[in-house]
Amino acid sequence: MIALLGRPNSGKSSLYNALTGGSARVGNFPGVTVDILQGSVAIPGAGGGVATLADLPGLYSIHAVIDPATDEGIARGFLDRAEAGEQPLIVAQVIDATQLALGLRLTREILARGSSLLVIVTQSDVLEREGRTLDVQRLQAAIGAPVVLVSVRVGDARGVVMEAVRGLLAKPLAKPVSDWEPAALARSVLSDAPQVSPEATRRRTFTTRADAVLLHSIFGPFLFLALMALVFAAVFLIADPVTAFFDSSVGRLRGLFTRVLGAGLLTSFLTDGVIAGAGTVLAFVPQIAILSVAMEVLDASGYLARGAFLLDRVLRLLGLSGRSFLPLLMGHACAIPAIASTRIIRDPRERLTTILVVPLMTCSARLPTYALILTTFFAGRGAWFKAAVFVGLYFTGILSGLVASLVLRRTATKGRSLPLLLEMPSYRMPEWKMVARKGWQSASRFVRDVGRMIIVVAGVLWVLLKVPAPAALQTAPESAPPIEHSIAAAIGHRLEPVTRPLGFDWRIDVGLIGSFGAREVMVGTMGVIFGIEDAGDDVSPLSQKIREAKRPDGTPAYSMRTALALLAFFVFACQCMSTVAAIRKETKSWRWPIFVLVYTYGVAYVVAFLIFQLGGLAGLS
Amino acid sequence: MKVTFMRPATPETELLSAPPGQAVRIVRIAQDDEHTAWLRAVGMHEDAEVTVLRRAPFGGPIHLRSSDGGEFAIHRDLARCIRVTTLEPRASAEGAPDPARSGRVA
């Protein structure tokens, strides 16, 4: 077994990909609760065999472990268990050549443990371009362990590393030495090339010069916010045409099925249930792929750490830190990749808090419902008014998330945080292969994990809406339209007493049952209830029907108060089973997803109740 | 060539109060063992040299370069617990002709 170990940002993942050719699966290691990638690598030479390569989480130090649940703790626990195991273990430490002294600190700790160590110094090409050379022989002699210098971009990194592994297996370490001073050793083995070109000098100072602008105390925060706004705009601008294309393809597919199979219950199940559900899934894929690509570019380039630096103070007021910013921003498109992206937050309590408040951010799945409500109840108001309400809804989401994190950090996720110690890595050009792979991985993971959920929800909802309820549960008169005889209507009617104080009747309740699985089905469900085909394409006929809807006593079913209460409900409630599943996956427990459901639905109910009741007292219609 | 010249008997201050561009030597770290170990792991320990590069806006963290050449941001509370003496002052952190980050001129 070869354990790949290194500081965060040391180029470990790139090397892992170079060694395994990108084939990675999440290893099933006992006692390890986070994903550790593992792959197989062939050891060259006769009888070399195959070794397992495990990519451990990045760590700064083996000694300085505060919490076993942090990356450090996990990597150290893994090493402890692997060394106690029967398989021979080689610790392959990855060091960024331009951060040699820092890497050597960890080397010294590994040697002091007595591990069988191979040091892999990466970024040889960057070192060369900066006009420096590394004396590998001298470094090897000083630490008493083999050292190789490679780059994943040029040359045969895999061949060099595996040859060194073979050598180490054939001839174990003679005398590891750990009583040297990292900074002094780094100075003695690194030297300038005989001629340092102006280009090399320029490269060396690039990060310093870039930081002078990007971390400027006035322009820095503005540039950061502008860049984030750009990323966000790109998500919608690029994703929208792709989503529209998927939409029309799905529409054509539904038409095709109807033509081939003829109208009927099975066709309806396939087209209105399964294919419509699949279409909903596809609509979110472009956004998610673009977001994860943007995030990988920001992270790999070194800029993400700068953003965290700039925003740390503001977020710290709320019990979070700079690292929480990106997940919270991503939550405005979709909570699922946002929750996965909280892995960049090193502090476990802060990460948990961020996971718990991300569902409050205004994800794009809420927008169709917001649009429907605005069109229906604020039709007489101008575009500016509607825009202001939209912006207000976004800010309500952000504000509620911040208040929630403030409260959580004093209650459910109370406790000491890790001290802020944020590495500011040198700026690097991201590796486009890694970036593309990240985009592909997150898109396919979304389709696999979330897609299944949405299709199941769409299927179940179809059954609830189309299948008549047993006679015992029927409440509607026989002459009523078929939808009123459905199972969903029966459930909706039984929920009415609970939701009446919020102004919701059975029809909204049915919509809410559907949105419990995925909020994007709300508009479609309301369309089915009011007998409008394809309500998603044009909401005005549906708006009309909703405005005209009557209670059994003939009074209007919905008012402005209902609209505001429903908006509030959608702002707060975590109506998304996929988010719940994502939280379950990231926290490895049912406790937190259930907590999120209870607290968001609780808040949604209370706020909607207050708005409806106080609105009534204030004389709102 | 190392561009640090010790000034004899400079008074001890908090790292927090060192101005941007200032090179300092760490004298003492008044923190528990865990935090001290963390700092040590990034090259910040007694007798190590550190340069303050800048402070984040609105009283945010402090951006430093450790003697190992790595750059870090640390929270102000942590910087308050680190006692230092000043070394040769530098012109300015922002845009100064500093040796690059990996950039100690060996």
**ipTM confidence score:** 0.78
Lowest-confidence segment of A39-48, A91-100, A367-376, A404-413 by average pLDDT: A39-48
Please report the DSSP string for A389-435 in residue order. HHHHHHHHHHHHHHHHHHHHTTTTT-SPPPPPEEE-PPP-PPPHHHH
pLDDT of residue A585: 82
Yes or no: say if A66 and B33 are a contact pair by the CB < 8 Å rule. Answer: no
List, as ranges, residues 87-146 from A with C-beta within 8 Å of B.
98-102, 105-106, 130, 132
Torsion angle, alpha carbons of A456, A457, A463, A465, to 10:
-160
- Both tokens of B33, joined, read 């063992």
* Residue pLDDT, tens place only, A142-171: 998 899 999 988 888 888 999 888 888 887
Checking if the pLDDT of A567 tops 50, the result is yes
Confidence of residue A504 (pLDDT cuts 50, 70, 90): very high
Q: Select the residue of B41, B63, B70 nearest A64 (Cβ to Cβ).
A: B41
- Report pLDDT for B93: 43
Q: Which amino acid is at A552?
A: P
A200 part of contact set with chain B, CB < 8 Å = no
Chain B residues in contact with A420 by the CB 8 A cut-off are 61, 73-75, 78
Of A132, A182, A309, the CB nearest to B61: A309
Do B71 and A220 count as a contact with CB atoms less than 8 A apart? Answer: no
Q: Does residue B52 surpass a pLDDT of 90? A: yes
Closest CA to A359 of A388, A381, A328, A395: A328
Span A246-300, pLDDT tens digits:
888 888 888 898 888 888 888 888 888 888 878 877 877 887 788 788 878 888 8
Structure tokens at A471: 């006679």
Q: What is the largest CA-CA distance in chain A?
A: 95
Q: How far apart are CA A149 and CA A553, in angstroms?
A: 82
In chain A, what percentage of residues exceed pLDDT 90? Answer: 22
Question: Does residue A575 contact residue A518 with C-beta atoms inside 8 Å?
Answer: yes
| pLDDT tops 60 at residue A93 | yes
Tokens of A358: 């991300």
Q: Are A38 and A55 contacting, i.e. CB atoms less than 8 angstroms apart? A: yes
Residue B52 tokens read as 């303050």
Q: Decide if pLDDT at B102 tops 50.
A: no
Residue B104 has pLDDT above 80, yes or no: no
Q: How far apart are CA A344 and CA A341, in angstroms?
A: 6
Distance from CA of A203 to the nearest CA of B (A): 9
Inform me whether the C-beta atom of residue B15 falls under 8 Å from chain A C-beta atoms: no
Q: pLDDT tier at B91 (50, 70, 90 boundaries)?
A: very low
| B6 has pLDDT over 60 | no
pLDDT at A46: 63
Nearest CA in chain B to A97: B102
* Closest residue in A to B33 (Cα–Cα): A64
Question: Does pTM top 0.80 for this prediction?
Answer: no
Give the residue from chain B lying closest to A307, CA to CA. B56
Q: Which residue has the higher pLDDT, A615 or A445?
A: A615
Q: Would you call B105 an interface residue with chain A, using a CB distance cutoff of 8 Å?
A: yes
Please give the span between the terminal C-alpha atoms of chain B, in angstroms, as a whole number. 6
- Statement: residue B92 has pLDDT above 60: no
- By the 8 A CB rule, do A139 and A167 touch? no
B103–A contact, CB cutoff 8 A: yes
- Asked whether A169 and A90 are in contact (CB, 8 A), the reply is yes
DSSP H or E stretch at residue A468: none
Output the six-digit token pair for A361: 């951010």
User: Number of A:B CB contacts under 8 A?
Assistant: 156
Give me the residues paired with residue A93 across strands: A5, A119
Distance, first Cα to last Cα, chain A: 71
Q: Which residue of A106, A208, A313 is in closest CB contact with B101?
A: A208
State which residue of chain B sits closest to A186, comparing Cα positions: B68
d(CA A252, CA A263): 15
Element (H, E) at B65: strand B62-66
pLDDT for the residue A420:
66
pLDDT range class, residue A551, cuts 50, 70, 90: confident
Q: Do B74 and A420 touch (CB under 8 A)?
A: yes
Instruction: Choose, out of A70, A215, A303, A318, the residue to mutate when testing the contact with B (most B CBs < 10 Å).
Output: A215
Written in H, E and C, the secondary structure of A302-345 is CHHHHHHHHHHHHHHCCCCCHHHHHHHHHCCCCHHHHHHHHHHC
CB contacts of B98 in chain A (<8 Å) are 205, 208
Rounded distance, CA A374 to CA A385, Å? 10
Tell me whether residue A154 is exposed, middle or buried, using C-beta atoms within 10 angstroms of its C-beta: 0 to 12, 13 to 18, 19 or more: exposed
Name the residue type at position B81.
C
> What does pLDDT average to over chain A?
85
Most confident of A13-17, A44-48, A239-243, B60-64: B60-64
Average pLDDT over chain B reads 77
Q: Which helix (H) or strand (E) holds A260?
A: helix A219-261
Three-class SS of residue A48? Answer: coil
pLDDT tens, residue by residue, A167-183: 888 877 767 777 888 88
pLDDT reported for residue A536: 64
pLDDT grade, residue A592 (50/70/90)?
A: very high
Instruction: Give CA angle at A601 (A599, A607), nearest 5°.
Output: 100
**Which carries the bigger pLDDT value, residue A92 or residue A523?**
A92
Torsion of CA A129, A131, A137, A143, to 10 degrees: -90
Angle at A550 between CA A544 and CA A553, to 5 degrees: 165
As a whole number of angstroms, the distance between CA A318 and CA A401 comes to 10
Residue A556's DSSP bridge partners are: A550
A107 contacts A91 by C-beta, under 8 angstroms: no
Q: Which residue has the higher pLDDT, A614 or A195?
A: A614
Q: Amino acid letter at A538? A: D
**Greater model confidence, A509 or A69:** A509
Closest CA to A318 of A227, A220, A417: A417
One-letter amino acid at A413 equals T
The percent of residues above 70 in pLDDT, for chain A, comes to: 93
A440: confidence class by pLDDT, cuts 50, 70, 90: confident
Residue A136's contacts (CB-CB under 8 Å, 6 or more residues apart) are A121, A147, A148, A149, A189
pLDDT tens digits, one per residue of A388-439: 888 899 899 999 999 999 999 999 888 776 666 788 888 988 888 888 887 8
Residues B12-31 have a mean pLDDT of 90
Chain A within 8 Å of B45 (Cβ-Cβ)?
A: no
Torsions phi, psi for A281 (to 5 deg): -60, -50
Encoded tokens for A216: 């400027």
Distances from the Cα of A121 to the Cα of A4, A42, A43, A326, B59, angstroms: 12, 21, 20, 31, 37
CB A551 within 8 A of CB A496: no
Q: Report the distance separating Cα A604 and Cα A528, nearest Å.
A: 25
* Token pair recorded at residue A81: 């268990």
What CA–CA distance (Å, rounded) separates A552 from A557? 9
CA distance A505 to A20: 58
pLDDT at A32: 45
Order of strands across the sheet that contains A147-149: A25-26, A37-42, A50-55, A2-6, A90-96, A117-122, A147-149
Helices A591-617 & A348-357, crossing angle to 10 degrees?
Answer: 40
3-class DSSP assignment, residue B29: strand
Are B90 and B51 in contact by the 8 Å Cβ rule? The answer is yes
Q: Give the tokens for residue A363.
A: 């994800």
| pLDDT on residue A606 | 97
Per-residue pLDDT tens digits for A296-312: 888 888 898 898 889 88
Contacts of A221 in chain B (CB under 8 A): 57
User: Can you read off the two tokens belonging to residue A41?
Assistant: 């690598």
Which amino acid belongs to residue A21?
A: G
State the Cα–Cα distance between residues A377 and A3, nearest whole angstrom.
61
pLDDT at A560 over 80: yes
pLDDT reading at A222 higher than 80: yes
pLDDT of residue B18 exceeding 80, the answer is yes
Q: Using 50, 70 and 90 to split pLDDT, how confident is the model at B94? A: very low
**Residues in CB range of B36: below 8 A, 6 or more apart:** B29, B45
